[in-house]
Amino acid sequence: MTSSANLLVNGDFENPGTAVTTDYEGYTADNDSAIPGWYLRPTTSDGVSPTIFYTQSTPGDRTSATWIPNAQNGAFLMQLDSTNSTPFTVGSSLYQVISLVSSTEYELSFWINTEVGGGKGGTSGSLLNVGTLTGNANIGAIGTSYISNQTFLVTNPNNVSATDAVWQQHSIRFTATTTGDTVIRFADSTTSSNSNVSLDNVVLVVVPEPSVVMGAMLLLGLVGWRERKRIRVLFRRVESNV
């Protein structure tokens, strides 16, 4: 993982926007402003609107929404629901639109988890799509794809508790081919079955060019060499005065 600043707005979901007074908020209609930086899209292509859940309580202090795990870090996370049909179809999604630079390599990392509690656990999946924005941001249509329908999985034991559920981090790199607005979309995957995917701490950074990394390493080496030389000189002075 690189050390650059996160390019995404509210990637850790710690800015809840309008304060809520319950343990969680559920969204069943498209919403462009509920969570700062993110477009919420519960509505699927088959017309069903599975819920997007947003928790606002301190981890371990929730008295309801017991199927949602504790946050990976901090107090907030998102959970993406899927349709209750057989087979399960692709569920709700959320996305962010950000301006990227052509010929620049980026690294996207994120944490996912399963549902928790009785009858939950198992395997959950997040379906990731990244590509150039076509048309209006609130439509979020993708033109040129950088990452297309790639599924990332996490598995926990059946009936896993909120405290025992293990978050899984994933990361992937891609290179933008166009300068301009780009869509980064996460959706609940069909793989999730009866255990909808939870999402937290999404980070997008620029991958440093090899020449920059090499230059930094050479600079550190030079600084180290000069420091070692300075110490040797000091030791010689001390020895000559003994």
The C-alpha angle 91, 59, 187, rounded to 5 degrees, equals 15
Query: What percentage of the chain reaches a pLDDT higher than 70?
Result: 74
Q: Which two tokens stand for residue 170?
A: 């994933």
Residue-wise pLDDT for 57-104, tens only, equals 665 567 778 888 989 998 889 999 876 655 556 678 999 999 999 999
Q: Which range is most confident: 8-17, 62-71, 213-222?
A: 8-17
Highest-scoring range by mean pLDDT, 87-96, 112-121, 221-230 = 112-121
The residue type found at 53 is: F
Q: Which CATH class is domain 24-208?
A: mainly beta
**pLDDT tens, residue by residue, 180-202:** 999 999 998 876 556 789 999 99
At 170, is the pLDDT very low, low, confident or very high (cuts 50, 70, 90)?
very high
Q: What is the mean pLDDT of residues 148-170?
A: 93
Rounded distance between C-alpha atoms, residue 228 and residue 231, angstroms: 5
- Between 202 and 43, the higher pLDDT residue: 202
| pLDDT over threshold 60, residue 163 | yes
Of all helices (H) and strands (E), which one includes residue 69?
none
Which single residue is written with the structure tokens 């309008």? 18
Question: Mean pLDDT of all residues in the chain?
Answer: 84
User: Tokens representing 98?
Assistant: 């950000």
pLDDT, residue 51, reads 83
Look at the alpha carbons of 166, 149, 25, 196 in this order and tell me if their dihedral is positive or negative.
negative
